[in-house]
């Protein structure tokens, strides 16, 4: 198998695992979203630290410096917000709205580049952004409120990716540092929860306890697959593969959890898909024209 084919497999595996996350978190009930988040942080640190030491990657941590640590601390805040909202939303019947967040995430990332990096969009790219904005308006009317879950997920993950890009640290050391920063408050929360007799871990059956601990592996493995893919295939192809995750999340919400999809909601999603399709095709056409020039 060639390196590019390996990259395709790794990328598809990463986004497929992320897309199937909605099937995993409900298995952890009766644990609350905050307890699941705390266990995800704690066990992710355990798993990534063991993996990093086994791969002799501890030297990467020593080279971070103050700026790197500060950026990863900020990234840790954004990713914990993203994880917490996502887990809560899935376990409270909002899987379809979580998929919307990751559908619009690429356009949010584009806007972050415009606002914070001074990047300029072509007029045809602004059309895609305008279509996505119209979709948010339609979905706001449909819900009777803005789609806060989707917007919060898109914003937090977009900011997480932005900060990670500025930090420039490989996936495994980065995740180890991020979870290490979040580890103390997460551990304190779990200890307090246990002292109050409200913890699910160790009290809701062996299956729930094992699955809570396995959250560390579930978190780290797709991230490592993503890193392996990013090193082997062009960013444009990786960008196309990222739509696998929200498509699977959407299908889980509609086909597995039978969430309501009235006509107005279909219209909102159709506008999002149209905006994404427009943006993707325009980017490819522009890149091809640039190469020919």
Instruction: Tell me the per-residue pLDDT of 22-80, one tens digit each, with 9 for 90 and over.
Output: 999 999 989 999 999 999 999 999 998 888 877 666 666 777 778 888 999 999 999 99
pLDDT of 97 > 90? The answer is yes
Query: Residue 207 is part of which domain span?
Result: 3-292
How many whole angstroms separate alpha carbon 52 and alpha carbon 280?
36
pLDDT 10s digits, 109-147: 778 877 887 777 788 778 888 888 888 888 888 878 888
pLDDT of 189 > 70? The answer is yes
Quick one: what percent of the chain has pLDDT higher than 90? 43
pLDDT of 193 > 70? The answer is yes
The residue-averaged pLDDT of 227-233 equals 76
How many whole angstroms separate alpha carbon 176 and alpha carbon 126?
37
User: Between these two residues, 4 and 249, which has the higher pLDDT value?
Assistant: 249
In order, the DSSP letters of the chain are --HHHHHHHHHHHHHHHHHTGGGTGGGGTTS-HHHHHHHHHHHHHHHHHHHHHHTT-HHHHHT-HHHHHHHHHHHHHHHHHHHHHHHHHHHTT-HHHHHHHHHHHHHHHHHHHHHHH-----HHHHHHHHHHHHHHHHHHHHHTS--HHHHHHHHHHHHHHHHHHHHT--HHHHHHHHHHHHHHHHHHHHHHHHHTT---TTTS-HHHHHHHHHHHHHHHHHHHHHHHHHTTS-HHHHHHHTTHHHHHHHHIIIIIS-----HHHHHHHHHHHHHHHHHHHHHHHHHHHHHH-
Burial class (CB in 10 A: 0-12, 13-18, 19+), 1: exposed
Residues 193/199, Cβ–Cβ less than 8 Å: yes
Q: How many domains does the chain have?
A: 1
> Please, which residues have CB within 8 angstroms of residue 6's CB and are 6 or more apart in sequence?
228, 232
pLDDT 10s digits, 246-288: 999 999 999 999 999 999 889 989 998 988 888 778 777 766 7
Longest dimension (CA), the chain: 67
Structure tokens at 215: 């959250």
Q: Given this model, what pLDDT does residue 290 score?
A: 66
Q: Given this model, what pLDDT does residue 55 score?
A: 66
Structure tokens at 257: 């959890």
Burial class (CB in 10 A: 0-12, 13-18, 19+), 176: buried
Confidence (pTM):
0.87
Dihedral of the alpha carbons of 108, 10, 45, 104, in degrees to the nearest 10: 10
Tally Cβ neighbours within 10 Å of residue 215: 25
Structure tokens at 199: 């913890």
How many whole angstroms separate alpha carbon 202 and alpha carbon 208?
8
């Amino acid at each position: 198998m060639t390196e590019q084919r390996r990259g395709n497999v790794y990328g598809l595996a990463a986004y497929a695992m992320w897309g199937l996350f909605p099937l995993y978190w409900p298995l952890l009930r009766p644990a609350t979203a905050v307890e699941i988040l705390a266990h995800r942080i704690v066990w992710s640190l355990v798993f990534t630290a063991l993996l990093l030491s086994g791969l002799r990657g501890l030297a990467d941590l020593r080279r971070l410096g103050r700026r790197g640590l500060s950026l990863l601390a900020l990234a840790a805040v954004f990713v914990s917000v993203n994880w917490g909202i996502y887990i809560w939303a899935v376990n409270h019947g909002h899987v379809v709205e979580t998929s919307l967040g990751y559908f619009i995430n690429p356009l949010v990332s584009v806007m972050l580049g415009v606002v914070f990096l001074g990047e300029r969009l072509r007029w045809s790219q602004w059309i895609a952004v305008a279509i996505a904005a119209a979709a948010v308006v339609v979905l706001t009317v449909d819900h009777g409120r803005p789609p806060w879950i989707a917007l919060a997920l898109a914003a937090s993950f977009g900011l997480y990716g932005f900060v990670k890009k500025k930090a420039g640290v490989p996936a495994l050391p980065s995740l180890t540092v991020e979870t290490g920063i979040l580890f103390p408050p997460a551990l304190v929360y779990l200890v307090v929860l246990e002292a109050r007799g409200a913890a699910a871990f160790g009290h809701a059956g062996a299956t729930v306890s094992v699955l809570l601990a396995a959250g560390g592996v579930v978190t780290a493995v797709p991230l490592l697959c993503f890193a392996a893919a990013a090193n082997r295939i062009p960013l444009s192809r990786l960008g196309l593969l990222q739509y696998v995750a929200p498509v699977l999340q959407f299908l889980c919400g509609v086909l597995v959890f039978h969430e309501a999809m009235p006509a107005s909601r279909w219209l909102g999603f159709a506008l999002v898909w149209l905006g994404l399709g427009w943006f993707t095709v325009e980017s490819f056409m522009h890149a091809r024209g640039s190469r020919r020039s």
